[in-house]
Structure formats: structure tokens, C-alpha cells
A and B are shown apart, each in its own frame.
Chain A
Amino acid sequence: MSVVKMSSNPEPIKEIWYIDCNSMFQNYANFRGFSRSTDSDTTFGGLVFGRKSRKQVVHVFFAYSEDLTESNLTFIQSSLSADIELLGNLQIDGVSPLIGDGFTLQLTIGMLESRNIDQFLDLNTMFNNEHIMLEGLSLVSKVGYEWPLRAGREGEDAKNACERLSCASFRFTYLNVDKKVVIREHKEKEKIGKQLDEYSKGAVPYKDALELIGLQSITRDTSQDPEDQKLVPTVKINRDDKHFTKLINITEVVAPAYYGEDSFVIYTRMREAFNRRIQNNMIVLVNGIRKGRGVLPSTSATFLPPGWASLLNLQLPTKWTENEQKVYRIRLHKLFNLPPSKPCLRISQVLALHSETPSVTNSKLLRNPHMNISNYKPVGEVTTVRGSYNYHHYMQDGIDDNGWGCAYRSFQTIWSWFILNGYTDKPVPNHRQIQQCLVDIGDKETKFVGSRQWIGSTEISFVLNSMLNLECRFIATNSGNEVVEKARELARHFETVGTPVMIGGNMLAHTIIGVDFNENTGETKFLILDPHYTGSEDLKTIISKGWCNWKPAKFWSPDHFYNMVLPQTPSEAI
């Protein structure tokens, strides 16, 4: 894309566009959350991305002047959903550098700091404030391709190979045999209206996916060949003994298909998604070559970062050292205005849209069952866990722990939260591994391994500390009544930290995943995930029978003491 400097007073656009102001303000807060050395230039601006055809601004990214470059723009665009393009720039207090085509949003630092939506709308009269989430599904496919990179010219060859592949990407056809879906090159006049409405109605792209087999067509439309005659086949044989590296890339192509869209739009978008992926791949590869890391494949990853209304598609350099990857992630957090202290781009947070996407957690488990409680009427202010977790309970994984494994299961739920929120890539330990850890740190004797002995809140904190280097806070109570008194403290925990809380007492362990607390009446309810459930992963039963549901204060026995473990998140976690 060419860089075009624009005038600071663009033509007024006489049409209504949509923007999510809160998302923009959050991006600004995240952008400012990264510390900066005092001697660097503090002028900043930003880029606006969205859907022209729907007049929607989907992303507003803030960036310091030195980051507003053509190469960053290309990289950002290659990472975004295929339906999202550059719309324009930000001008903050009239001094920002401008890049690319499109309109310019007028902002002030005061407005951004105070999150003043009215002020934004007054300055930018073409906008309405609206959260944007479209009805549709993700089309997902895996494709492989090879790049031969000649020794000493790897970077240059990678760029050219990417360009050639992009030219030839019309060769890819995507099929779903069961559903008889064909997404392939065709002329606009041959389009089929509402091609995937049957599947996209009521769907959301981060959750609902249509898996397609990606195929490479060796047949092409020859109707527009400039010559009737083709050339005879040729066999070129080269024996010049040149060295080259063959890089095999397997990438995941993800593109949204929204309700109502025709086959031409869907095919064009799938092709654009493929082209963006390979460009992203090429940029990461060339970046690695320039930094002397050699020719290394990268891994496709699709994320839904917090607060985003569309997906982020990245090629992650998973063969780089852990430290190099961390530096890279921090860079990405800055570019995409992601939270400065919360992981968003870890492999464990990848959306498993494709059946072959490796998952650290057990995909058969129920995720966030509490989100399916529909008939609850809050008594006060509700706060719940922040981020996803899996429901671990008795009898899973072929282990009969009925009667003794509830704290182990609560621990596993907590661990799954740390995986799904990007704090660890280590799989959830089983009972034996938990026991072994307690033996290894000297808390238990060797015979504890393989036993059916219970563990409690202390042991849970020991294992989290030993295996994940995490700290825990404790709340100790002398009775169930005191648990209720700690509701405010729990609410604060969920607001600031957000991890599930294990509570042990009366010979039982539970997981608290939310509180509902009325400041005025004192009425309190607890959202409990009960590890004692022994049935199958049947969401309806789990909700209706109360295995995951809101419990009144009397749920806690006044005659028993309870201890709560509140796992903390590390501060440097990106």
C-alpha cells in the first residue's frame, strides 16, 4: 500500500458511520499503559480500521510517530480479519502524523483521558457510538505451501515467493463435503446469493466455525488466455549445485462469512485471508532472517483479544527462544493496543476454530458453564471470574475420585483458567502429578503418591507456587457466616485479579466463580462451580441441578470453618 500524506482538513463525509467509543478509549488506555523512556518523541497518532461497505470503524490503534510506518501498517493489516481495511488516521490535538488513505478522526488528549464520548461525537459528527458485532461464522482451513530460499538471498526470495503465491492464490478452492459447500474462484456475475446463511444465522465468528478442506486447483479458467495454443510441457534440469533452504509452511486460513453475504464476497474474502496470512508469515520470516535467527517456520494462531469485535490472525515465531518470543509479544501488544500487563497472545489462548488446532486443555470439557445460566435475577452487584476456565469435576479423565478428589478438581479448574488466560502453556496436572509435586517439595511423604488422600487450600497454593511460580492470597474464616462477610473482598478479587477461588471447609471443596453482593441489604449470593458432579458434560443438567449456579449465603455451614485460596496473577505476564 502506498503511503499518502493527507491534508489535515479532509472533505467532510456526509454519511453516518459507527464506532465503539469505549473500545477506542480502552485502546488508548492500553497504549498509555506501556512505559516509555522520557527522551523519546512523545508525539502520537494512530490508524483507523474497519468495514467500508458497512460504514463501521472496528479498530482504532494508537501509535507513537516512529511506529506510524508503512511496514507497520502492512503488518497490522495482514494480521486483521480479511474484511477489515484501513479507513484513515487519528489526529490528536491537531499534531499527529498522518499515513495512508481515508478520513481522519479528530481527538484530544483530554477527551481520551476522560473517556468523553459526547465530546468525541461533537468533534466527529459523522459517527454514532455503537458496539459492533456481526452475525456470522468463521471459515477455517489449513493449507500448505513451500518456499525455496536460495542461500544468501533468503529474505529477498521469501518476499518474491510470497508475492508469487499471492498472485496464484486463486488456485485454492475450499470445500466442505458434508455440507456440499464450495468456495472457489468464480466471476461476480456467477455469484450465488446468501451462500452460507444456513450456517451463519445466529452464529458468532469467534465461536462458530465452518471447517473447509483447502485444495489446490490444477484446473484453471482458460477462457481469457491471450493465445489459443498452449505451450508444450517442458522439463528443466538444473545441475548448478546451488544451496537453498526449502521452507514448508502449514498455515491456517480464517475468514468471516457474515449473514446475507453472497458467494463472490465470501470467496474474495477467503482469498484475501489467505493472502494476508502468507504476508504475515513472510514478514515474521524476514524479520527472523534479518535478526540472524535463520529460516524458521512460524505457527498460525487466531485470537479474540479482550474487547475486540473481530479476530486477530498472527503467525507466531514459536521456534524463537522464549525470551525472543516474549519481546515479540510485547511488540504486538503495543502495536495492537492490547493490555500491558495481561497476556493476550499466548499459544494457549489460540481459538480452536479448526479441529486440528492443538489445544493445551481438554476440548471435551465444558467451558464457562456459568455463562449459560439464563434465569438468574441479581440481588446486587454481580462480579465474576475474568476470563475463561474449564469445568473440572469428579470422574473425568477415567479417574474415579468420587469422595476424595474435589479439591484436586477445583485446583484443575483454577489451572485451566491460567492456561486459557495465557499465563501458562503447561497442561492441567492430574491427581498423581499434583501429589508428586507435594512430595517433591517435601510437604508429603512418598506414599502420598497414588493415594486417595484429600488435599486442602494450603496444598493448592503449594502446588501453584511450585509448578507455576504463582502466589496465592488466603482468606480464613471461622464459620460459614464469615464467608458471607468476605463477599466484598471476593468481589474486589474478581474485579482486579479475576481468577477462580477455591474454598475448602466442612470436608468439601468448591470453586467460587462469582459473587452477587447488595451493599444496602447485605444480601449475598455466590456463584459456585461444584466439583462433586459425577455425570457427563451435560450443560443442561449441570445448570438445572445446581452444579453450576448461584447459591444463597446459607450454602456455607455456620458450624464449620472455611479457607479460601485466591490465586494471584504475575505482574510481568505478556
Chain B
Amino acid sequence: MSLPLAIVVTESMILFDQQLEEWVKKSAKNHEFVQIEKSIPASAYFLLGSFCSDGDIHIAHASKCPVHSSALEANANDKTKLLDDQWMTDNAERVLRMLPGGVNVVGIAWFSTKETFNQRKSVIQKTLTRIQKINNSLTTAGMDSTISDHMVCAFFETGKTTPTGTIFDVSGRGTDSTAKVAFQKLEWISLVSNASARIVLNVPIVAGKQPDFYNDFVAATKNFTTNFFHTDLMLLDGQIREDTEPLIKDLKNNKKTTVEAQLFLDPLYNRESGASDHITSNMHELMFDIEIRAAVPLRSTVKDAKRALKHHLIRNLFSRAELHYESMEIVEDSKAIVDSCQVHQLPRPATTVLHSHPAILLNEFLFEADNVEDAQKNFDDMMDLQTSIEHVDEGWERALTPEEMDSVRTPIEDLCFGGLPPPSDSCCSTKTLLVTIGIIVAIIATIIYLTVAHG
């Protein structure tokens, strides 16, 4: 992508949270040190924050993009010391998976000399473009264009702590612009919900091709994802709200720390009355029941709050599917492919709050063998958090017991529903059901893991 000849000044501002002033000083000093001592020409940090409804970009936190380990070796050549776009994007993706809906990698803070910055500007821009693309695919499954096309770069010249801000239009359609940068007290609000569903779809195998877990996962969930983004209605604290309304009407007197949401699908979406024949050649059945804790700047509109909640669910699911897929590449054997019925368990979340902004709850996903210490380490490594282990919560979900795995393997059509207690005003609770899940794409029903019955 060619750089524009003229840079315009935009009205959007890049707002750093006041608490990041310390980080700037520390990072500037650190960079000065590595530049002199290790000849590392530039340090990059991922800026984590939100595209606020008023057009400003709010930054809550910054996490360091590591340099190649080889860059720190004594005889490292100059090339290994450079941060390339692929490296930065890969690291950004790992960070992205940990972020709640409404919070994104919104840009990069770049510490270097002016000369290096000018030399590496195109790489920065390329990185931002790639991060945006990955964010879009991870957070909306590429089905929705609600991730902002604007990404920011805050440049800190070596030895200085006053940044120069640039907003890049990574779509390539608009122009890039310089933006004012300021430090302010920023606040986020937590958006609380949960989502459970059973998504059933046959993904026919293309002749001559091996089934691919992740691609099939994307295909199997496509109708669900598009329906989810298409369905505009959502209840916030039980009410229908106008998209253009501010989420918090009276900011000055606000005492709310959370907004509760009810999420929906359109049961008529992509449906026409009729019957069609199918074969279970590669039938996928995704079942999930997850808690949602998205976050948006306090000054957001209802529309952006709704969007954050949607982003959270999709990012959460797709991050786990990606991680599971990456782990499968190591452990998968050919036996799994020929099994007529496989059940994959996706990794479980461990969370911790961003201490400076408790509304922002970060997720790390753990495999069965991982423990809370692993989560703590990852939070420290990837997010630059010095989290104590007591603040890491891995109690949200657990893996299935062997009996529950058997229940999941049983076709839902064969499960007995006789003797269920009659529906009541709190009908989702039953004695024998561990999880009651309404079903989305293929069937609406109640999914059961009869733990008590099987236990």
C-alpha cells in the first residue's frame, strides 16, 4: 500500500487512559536502554482499547510485542532485530484472543528514532492492516463489517514521552490522518450476558479432500453467525433501546457498573417452510453455554454496546476453535478421522480483570492439562500484567466427565424427555438437567447432559 502524500488532520482523538502516563515514561526509558545496549532499533506495544461511539479511540492498556529471541543474542544481525509485520501480527492475534468484546487491539505504540519510524512506517501500516483483518475474522467470522477500519499508531521518539498520533484507514479507501493524542481519565462499563446454543449443520466433505476442523467449524457456524449479526434486536436491562441513545443516559450521576443483556436470533432467518433430504456425511453439532463479559467505554451508544456483546460471543468461540485446531495439528492421528462420531472439547477460559479497568475482563484459554499457574504466566507474558494467582479465575467452565461425553455422543433424538418437570416460570432449571440449551440453527430443543441420570 502506498503512503498518501498529504496527511490530513482528523477530529478523532487518540485518548490514552491517564494511568498510562507512567507506562509511557517507563517504556520510553526501556527503549532507550535496549536501543543503546542491545541495538534494538524499535520497541512496539499493542494498544488495547475501544473505538468509542464519538469517534475517539480510547486506550486502556498497552502490551509489549516481544522481539525475536534471536535478536537478543550477542551476534544477532540487524535484520533479526527488526520487527516484521508477520511477527507483530501473530503476537497481536494472541493478545486479541484474550480480549473481551468491545475491546480490541486498536493500534501500535512505536518507540524509536524518527528515522527508524519513517523507515518502518509502511511495515507498521501493513501490520495494522493485517491485525484488523484478523480481528474481523476472529470477532465477526468475516461475516460482518463492524470492526473499525481505523487503526492508530502512536509514535514516541526515543528519549521523548510526547506521542505523535496517526490514524490509518486500513481499508485503503480513505486517507490516513494525524490525530491529537491526549491523556484522560477513561472509564469502561461491563456488559453482562450469557449465550447457549446447539448449532447443527452437515458440512459436506469435498471429494478428495480431508476434512479440516477449523474450516468445517466456520462453515457449520456460518448460518448462526450471519443470523446473529443480522438480528438487530437485543434487550438491555430488559428494555428495548434505540441504537442512537447513549448507553448511560446520565453520565454525571451514573452509578451503574454493569448492563445486562439478552441476546437473540431471528427464528425466521434464512428459513422457508419445506422439507429436504440430507445425509449425515459430516454432521457438525456445536454446543456451547458461555458467560459473556464484554466492555465498552462509558460514553458508548447502545449500538456499540450491542455490537460489543456480539463480538464477544463470536471471538470467544472462534478463539477457542482456533486454539483447539492448532493443538490438533500436533496430536491428531488418522484414527480420529475415520471415527464415525468424534467429540471435541474446546479449551476452557481462565479470567482476570485488567486492574486499571475492572470492567475489562481478560480471557486466557486453557487445555485440559493446563492449570491456573499457566493462565497466570500467560497473562504476565502476553499482557504485561503482574497478576497474582488469586486474581485468576478458572472456575467458569469445566471439561466433561466420561459419562457426560457419552450423553453428548447419544443422538438427541434418542434422549428420553419423559418425566421432565412441567415448565414453570423458572423453567430452565430442572433436577436432572445439568445444562439446558435452546437450539439454534437446525433444531430448537433442549439439550441435555443427563449427569444425574448417568452418574
Contact = CB atoms under 8 A, between A and B. Distances in A.
A188 interface: yes
A570 B420 CA distance: 51
A521 interface: no
B413 interface: yes
Nearest to A151: B277
Contact of B266 (A165, A215, A232): A215
Interface in B267-326: 267-269, 271-291, 317, 320-321
B274 A234 contact: no
B233 A213 contact: yes
Contact of B346 (A143, A173, A234, A243): A234
Nearest to A295: B275
21 contacts: A143-B267, A146-B443, A146-B444, A150-B413, A173-B235, A173-B262, A185-B427, A187-B426, A188-B425, A218-B440, A220-B436, A222-B428, A226-B434, A232-B400, A233-B345, A234-B346, A237-B211, A240-B340, A245-B275, A247-B275, A250-B272
A239 interface: yes
Contact of A233 (B320, B341, B409, B438): B320
Contact of A182 (B235, B412, B439, B443): B235
Nearest to A356: B268
Number of contact residues on B: which range applies?
Answer: 35 or more
Contacts of A215: 231, 233, 264-267
B315 to A, nearest CB: 13
Contact of A228 (B271, B340, B395): B395
Interface stretch (B123-131, B151-159, B194-202): B194-202
Interface in B200-217: 200, 211, 213, 216-217
B281 A239 contact: yes
A234 B286 contact: yes
Interface of B: 193-197, 200, 211, 213, 216-217, 231, 233, 235, 238-240, 261-269, 271-291, 317, 320-321, 339-348, 395-400, 404, 408-409, 412-413, 417, 420, 423, 425-429, 431, 434-436, 438-446, 449
B444 A177 contact: no
A282 to B, nearest CB: 13
Q: Chain A: interface secondary structure?
A: mixed
A235 B213 CA distance: 10
A230 B439 CA distance: 17
B342 A236 contact: yes
Given A168-B444, A235-B217, A219 B273 contact: no
A214 B267 contact: yes
A16 interface: no
Contacts of A245: 275-278
Contact of B284 (A182, A187, A223, A235): A235
B168 to A, nearest CB: 35
Contacts of A142: 268
A177 B285 contact: no
Contacts of B340: 238-240
Contact of B438 (A214, A218, A271, A294): A218
B426 A231 contact: no
B440 A236 contact: no
Contacts of A271: 423
A78 to B, nearest CB: 16
A182 B261 contact: no
Interface stretch (A156-164, A358-366, A470-478, A491-499): A156-164
Contacts of A150: 413
Contacts of A561: none
A171 interface: yes
B205 to A, nearest CB: 8
A167 B442 contact: no
A169 B197 CA distance: 14
A168 B273 contact: no
A234 B344 contact: yes
A192 B171 CA distance: 48
Contacts of A144: 267-269, 271
A180 interface: yes
Contacts of A295: 275
B400 A164 contact: no
A216 B265 contact: yes
Contacts of A238: 280, 282-283, 285, 340-341
Contacts of A216: 264-267, 438, 440, 444
Contact of B290 (A167, A170, A233): A233
A320 to B, nearest CB: 13
A291 interface: no
A165 B444 contact: yes
A490 to B, nearest CB: 45
Given A170-B428, A229-B395, 10 more contacts: A160-B417, A164-B445, A187-B426, A218-B195, A224-B429, A230-B291, A236-B342, A237-B282, A238-B283, A250-B268
A219 B194 contact: yes
A297 B279 contact: no
A270 to B, nearest CB: 13
Interface in A145-202: 145-148, 150, 153, 157, 160-161, 163-173, 175, 177, 180, 182, 184-188
* Most A C-beta atoms less than 10 A away, residue of B284, B320, B427, B445: B445
A218 B264 contact: yes
Nearest to A170: B427
B423 A143 contact: no
A246 B420 contact: no
B397 A240 contact: no
A220 B449 contact: no
Contacts of B423: 166-167, 169-170, 271
